[in-house]
């Protein structure tokens, strides 16, 4: 899919370049990963994500401890259990094991959702700054080198990362 995107972008750029020979294309590039890593809000977001991850891990650990305790009890008393109690304990262990697996799957999804929720405003802020730098400086295209959509860095392309940093107030 990335190759198709690159090919399509090359075709569009070549087409635009040949269509408007009189017009000058001003192409810049930026590294959005570098920008994201330098944003002051990034530390707060990372801390919130670590706290959330720790809560999920604590709950999972508690469930695993409960399972282990019940399993040990089951194994220690198996010889003295009636069939009905044995079946009940086995069902309880199976149900708890299923709950643990479900929790783990849901925890992964919840973490991803929380991560997206916290990062989206930051991503939007960086995109807006890139757009503003492009408009303020007359760039036809600014390519994000972090996403792999980098065609060529030559004398005709400018690294606008520093300008975007300035726009975002990053030193």
Task: Copy the structure tokens of residue 50.
Answer: 């670590």
pLDDT over threshold 50, residue 11: no
Distinct helix (H) and strand (E) counts, the chain: 5, 3
All residues at 6 or more sequence positions from 111 whose CB lies less than 8 Å from its CB, including other chains = 49, 52, 53, 56
Q: CATH number, domain at 100?
A: 3.30.910.20
Any idea which residue has 């990362």 for tokens?
161
DSSP 140: S
Number of domains making up the chain:
1
pLDDT in tens, 95-146: 999 999 999 999 999 999 999 999 999 989 988 888 888 888 877 778 888 8
Count other C-beta atoms under 10 Å from residue 145's C-beta.
Answer: 19
Residues of the domain holding 42: 2-168
Return the pLDDT at 141.
79
Any idea which residue has 């149900």 for tokens?
95
pLDDT in tens, 82-92: 999 999 999 99
Give the start-end residues of each E strand in the chain.
27-30, 141-144, 157-159
Give the rounded percent of residues in the chain with a pLDDT score beyond 90: 50
Could you tell me which residue, 73 or 160, shows the higher pLDDT? 73
């Amino acid at each position: 899919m990335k190759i198709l995107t690159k090919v399509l972008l090359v075709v569009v750029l070549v087409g635009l370049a040949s269509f408007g020979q009189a017009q000058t294309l001003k192409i810049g590039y930026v590294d959005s990963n570098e920008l994201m890593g330098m944003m002051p809000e990034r530390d707060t977001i990372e801390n919130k994500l670590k706290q959330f991850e720790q809560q999920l891990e604590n709950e999972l650990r508690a469930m695993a401890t409960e399972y282990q305790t019940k399993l040990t009890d089951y194994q220690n008393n198996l010889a003295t259990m009636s069939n009905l109690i044995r079946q009940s304990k086995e069902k309880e262990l199976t149900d708890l094991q299923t709950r643990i697996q479900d929790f783990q799957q849901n925890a992964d999804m919840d973490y991803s959702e929380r991560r997206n929720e916290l990062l989206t405003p930051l991503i939007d802020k960086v995109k807006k700054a890139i757009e503003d730098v492009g408009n303020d400086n007359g760039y036809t295209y600014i390519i994000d080198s972090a996403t792999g959509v980098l065609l060529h860095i030559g004398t005709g392309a400018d690294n606008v990362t520093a300008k975007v940093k300035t726009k975002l107030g990053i030193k």
